[in-house]
């Protein structure tokens, strides 16, 4: 059996971190099993769907390296939905209902007030032909419900949550189509999963009750259901669902300088028993991906953890992986010297400006100025090679008796105008003899 997964966002907005996690896990499961990962744009909401959002979704997936094997749109599949709808209606599994939203809301409140579950009472099934004629004469148009089989208990083994059981009598017959003929999520999604041959559906635990209903839809259409994996939802660092998580998307991560590899490394294992590690290559993450490793507890998304992971990944990136993103003139030696001090790659330009550009000369007291004069004279007499920093500091330590911070700090500050930064042993050869002498003498003046 070919494993087929799907990511089915609605193009009514940009992807957020929860969407990205769902897309990633569907992609990883397909990758691990040599299967297919499909993108389905659930654009039945014509009023809110926008092509700009569809383009954004595609671009975000591409930036993350999650390339679908195929793409489809629900708006191109209405004929298929109509055919399935007609067959289910003829089989008595779909029926029209005429209650208004206000009437349904009142019924729910009455039931809740009596301590009863707010389950739809199927009053529409009791309407006579005269009742229907009267309601339609009043201008009412029906919405349509899927009729659950109350004699068929719902059960499945979830790949994450284990055995699941639902009593269909405690579920309302779901509305599948609005009065205006537009589709709601439940039935088109099930139809598409059948038609596309989807074998595994990976989504959030907020869809568990939807799955219970959709299992009866699969059965009513004579199709085996896919396997389901319902993941615990993401929470923020404060331990509860965070509105900020709903706004964190690829554009926000890119603005922050977060690498795609860092996002993938964190989200791949968030909620599992495996440690989060700074993998720049997704292959080890795919190889160890297993739904059995996921827990039921909420998965905590920590932006500080993402930033730290991003830093570790950048520190391990080879020059070949970043060459097109570095400032002009920065070679492999420059990258190797500077990358241990970077939080994001964009900072490389700042450090390269310090190496090759002009710097603001710091102010020193008289003792340090005298010391920097000695440093310039000592440097002028030394061979300027890869070992020049060690030779310079060794000579100055012997000549002045300085050591530790008193030795190293004035030199770093004079040469870079910074209190800290990359190893000077790697940085000084990049600065060059003439620039280094000029900076030392300017600081000593």
Task: Give me the DSSP letters along 280-295.
Answer: SSSHHHHHT--GGGB-
What pLDDT was estimated at residue 242? 63
Determine the Cα–Cα distance for residues 229 and 371; give it in Å rounded to an integer: 67
Residues 6+ positions from 225 with CB-CB distance below 8 Å: 156, 193, 214, 215, 218, 219
* Tokens 């909620």 belong to residue: 271
The mean-pLDDT minimum among 4-8, 167-171, 298-302, 363-367 falls in 298-302
* Superfamily grouping for domain 1-72+232-316: HUPs (3.40.50.620)
Instruction: Calculate what percentage of the chain has a pLDDT beyond 90.
Output: 94
Residues 16-40, mean pLDDT to the nearest whole number: 97
Per-residue pLDDT for 211 more than 70?
yes
- Per-residue pLDDT tens digits for 120-164: 999 999 999 999 999 999 999 999 999 999 999 999 999 999 999
User: Mean pLDDT across the stretch 182-187?
Assistant: 96
Confidence tier at 398 by pLDDT (50, 70, 90): very high
CATH fold of the domain at 366-444 = Arc Repressor Mutant, subunit A (1.10.10)
Confidence check: pLDDT of 246 > 80:
no
On whether the CB atoms of residues 248 and 16 are closer than 8 A, the answer is yes
Residue with tokens 């070992």: 387
Contacts of 36 (CB under 8 A, 6+ apart): 2, 3, 4, 5, 30, 69, 70
Inter-residue contact 53 to 86 (CB < 8 Å): no
Question: What is the number of residues in the chain?
Answer: 445
**Closest by Cα among 122, 127, 85, 125 to 107:** 122
Classify burial at 146, counting beta carbons within 10 Å of its beta carbon; exposed 0-12, middle 13-18, buried 19 or more: buried
Tell me the pLDDT band of 347, cut-offs 50, 70 and 90.
Answer: very high
Binding-site residues for ATP, please? 243
Residue 247, token pair as written in the block: 């706004």
pLDDT bracket for residue 247 (50, 70, 90) = confident
Please provide the DSSP assignment of 226-261 as one string.
PEEEEEPPEE-TTSS--GGGGT--HHHHHHHT--HH
Which residue matches tokens 């900020």?
Answer: 244
Residue ranges of the alpha helices (H) in 317-387? 319-322, 332-338, 347-356, 366-380
Q: Delimit the CATH 3.40.50.620 region(s) of the chain.
A: 1-72+232-316
The pLDDT tens digits of the residues spanning 288-345 come to: 999 999 999 988 999 999 999 999 999 999 999 999 999 999 999 999 999 999 999 9
pLDDT at 193 over 80: yes
Whether pLDDT at 243 is above 80: no
Long-range contacts of 78-84 (CB under 8 A, 24+ apart): 80/191, 80/195, 81/183, 81/187, 81/188, 81/191, 84/187, 84/191, 84/221
- The CATH number of 80-177, from 3.90.800.10, 3.30.420.40, 3.40.50.460, 3.40.50.720, is 3.90.800.10
The secondary element (H helix, E strand) that includes residue 402 is: none
Element at 70 (helix H, strand E): strand 70-73
Annotated binding site: 243
Amino acid 248: pLDDT: 83
What would the mean pLDDT of 366-392 be, rounded to a whole number?
97
- Residue 238 — very low, low, confident or very high, per pLDDT cuts 50/70/90? confident
Instruction: Specify the domain boundaries for CATH 1.10.10.350 within the chain.
Output: 366-444
Phi-psi region of 242 (alpha: psi -120 to 50; beta: other; left: phi over 0): beta
Q: What pLDDT band is residue 201 in, cutting at 50, 70 and 90?
A: very high
Rounded CA gap, 183 and 74, in Å?
10
Whether the CB-CB separation of 298 and 233 falls below 8 Å is answered with: yes
pLDDT at 244: 73
Segment 213-217 mean pLDDT = 98
Which conformational region is residue 294 in: left (phi greater than 0), alpha (psi within -120 to 50 degrees), or beta?
A: beta
Helices and strands in the chain: count of H runs, count of E runs: 19, 12
Distance of alpha carbon 394 from alpha carbon 8, whole angstroms: 64
Tokens matching residue 276: 């989060």
Among 359, 360, 375, 358, smallest CA distance to 409 is for: 375
First to last CA, the chain: 77
């Amino acid at each position: 059996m070919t494993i087929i997964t799907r990511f089915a966002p609605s193009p009514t907005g940009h992807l957020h971190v929860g969407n990205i996690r769902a897309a990633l896990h569907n992609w990883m499961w397909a990758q691990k099993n040599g299967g297919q990962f499909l993108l389905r744009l659930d654009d039945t909401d014509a009023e809110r769907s926008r092509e700009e959002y569809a383009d954004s979704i595609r671009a975000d997936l591409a930036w993350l390296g999650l390339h679908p094997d195929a793409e489809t749109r629900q708006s191109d599949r209405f004929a298929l939905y109509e055919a399935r709808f007609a067959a289910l209606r003829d089989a008595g599994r779909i029926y029209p209902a005429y209650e208004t939203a206000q009437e349904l809301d009142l019924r729910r409140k009455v039931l809740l007030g009596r301590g009863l579950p707010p389950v739809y009472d199927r009053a529409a099934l009791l309407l006579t032909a005269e009742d229907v004629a009267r309601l339609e004469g009043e201008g009412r148009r029906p919405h349509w419900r899927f009729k659950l089989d109350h004699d068929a208990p719902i059960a499945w083994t979830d790949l994450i949550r284990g055995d699941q059981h639902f009593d269909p009598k405690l579920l309302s017959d779901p509305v599948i189509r609005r009065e205006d003929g537009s589709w709601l999520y439940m039935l088109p999604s099930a139809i598409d999963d059948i038609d596309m041959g989807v074998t595994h559906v990976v989504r959030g635990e907020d869809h568990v009750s939807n799955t219970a209903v959709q299992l009866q839809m699969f059965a009513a259409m004579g199709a085996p259901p896919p396997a389901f994996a319902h993941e615990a939802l993401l929470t923020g660092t404060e331990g509860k669902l965070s509105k900020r998580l709903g706004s964190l998307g690829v554009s926000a991560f890119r603005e922050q300088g977060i690498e795609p590899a860092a996002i993938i490394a964190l989200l791949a294992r968030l909620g599992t028993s495996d440690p989060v590690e700074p993998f720049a290559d997704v292959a080890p993450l795919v190889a160890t991906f297993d739904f059995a490793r996921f827990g039921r507890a909420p998965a905590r998304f920590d932006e500080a953890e993402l930033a730290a992971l991003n830093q570790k990944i950048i520190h391990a990136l080879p020059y070949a992986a970043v060459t097109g993103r570095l400032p002009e003139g920065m070679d492999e030696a420059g990258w190797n010297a500077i990358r241990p001090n970077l939080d994001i790659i964009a900072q490389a330009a700042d450090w390269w400006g310090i190496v090759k550009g002009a710097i603001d000369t710091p102010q020193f007291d008289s003792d340090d100025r005298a010391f920097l004069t000695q440093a310039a004279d000592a440097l002028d007499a030394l061979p300027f090679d890869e070992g020049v920093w060690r030779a310079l500091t060794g000579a100055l330590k012997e000549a002045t008796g300085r050591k530790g911070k008193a030795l190293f700090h004035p030199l770093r500050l004079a040469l870079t105008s910074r209190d800290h930064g990359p190893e000077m042993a790697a940085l000084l050869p990049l600065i060059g003899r003439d620039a280094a002498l000029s900076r030392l003498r300017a600081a000593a003046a």
